[in-house]
Amino acid sequence: MKLIPMLIVLGLSLSLCNIAEKLKGSKNDNANSSSANSSSGKPDKSGLPTADKPEPTAAQSAAIAGGQSITWDQQGITWTVPGNWSKMSVDSKSFSWKSPGSSDAGFLIGSISPMGADFPTDISIKAMYDQAATRQKNGEVSSVRWLEIDGVRGVEFLETPPEHKDDPRRLQWQGYRKFAGQVQLINLILSSQGQHFDMHKDELFGILYSMKVVHE
């Protein structure tokens, strides 16, 4: 189980590093945005590009068909996972389920980070997108896009296969919502060891796209 805290720490560090520097910039400074990698379209009222909506493939839908609905009760978030997945741990700030197996298992890991009421979510989410786009240029990420799930705009990216086959490969989605009087960052990591990722790929995407989120 040592893999779980490592995945959470790595995911959060990849998400939040350098955001402080990004927040120092002007809210209107979009000149260097990675629009070529964006879900194309005209900016919405926030000034950010329009986001895609989930369109699961037949294989992704089939991977979770007939599965179980699981709910993060403290946070009002629900997913559909295959029937043979099981709970690992759940509390108010973190959530983790997994498929059968040990080294070849797939994981769903969620975390919640409360922010201040005046936290600049649009600037922050753009910084996350730009960071993922930079990682894509560096060969660390294979795809990145704006993705809105159940009314919550976020950034989805998929890492490239790791250099070492037993290191994790992550599908990650991050987005901000208002819930229970708070501004919150939702951080989701769906992962497996690099050598086993393709075995889980359809179910990981299917789980992500099945998400339902309570938000204000």
Which residues are CB-neighbours of 56 under 8 A, at least 6 positions away?
Answer: 205, 206, 209
Residue 93 lies in a domain: yes
Residue 50 lies in a domain: no
Residue 131 lies in a domain: yes
Residue 38 lies in a domain: no
Pick the most confident of 4-8, 34-38, 47-51, 110-114.
110-114
Cα–Cα dist 79/77, whole Å: 7
Q: What is the per-residue pLDDT across 132-177, written as a single tens digit (0 to 9) for each?
A: 999 999 999 999 999 999 999 999 999 999 999 999 999 999 999 9
pLDDT of amino acid 13: 44
Residue 29 lies in a domain: no
Domain that holds residue 194: 3-20+55-213
Give the tokens for residue 93. 């700030």
Domain count, the chain: 1
Residue 109 lies in a domain: yes
CA distances from 99 to 85, 103, 187 (A): 4, 11, 20
Written in H, E and C, the secondary structure of 63-119 is: HHCCCEEEEECCCCEEEEECCCCEEEEECCCEEEEECCCCCCCEEEEEEEEEECCCC
**In this structure, what are the phi and psi dihedrals at residue 35, rounded to the nearest 5 degrees?**
-65, -25
Question: Confidence band (pLDDT; 50, 70, 90) for 2?
Answer: very low
The residue among 86, 81, 85 whose CA lies nearest residue 67 is 81
Q: What is the per-residue pLDDT across 175-196, written as a single tens digit (0 to 9) for each?
A: 999 999 999 999 999 999 999 9
The residue among 53, 72, 45, 16 whose CA lies nearest residue 153 is 53
Question: Confidence band (pLDDT; 50, 70, 90) for 26?
Answer: very low
- pTM of the predicted structure, to 2 decimals: 0.81
Residue 61 lies in a domain: yes
CATH label of the domain that carries residue 181: 3.40.1000.10
Residue 195 lies in a domain: yes
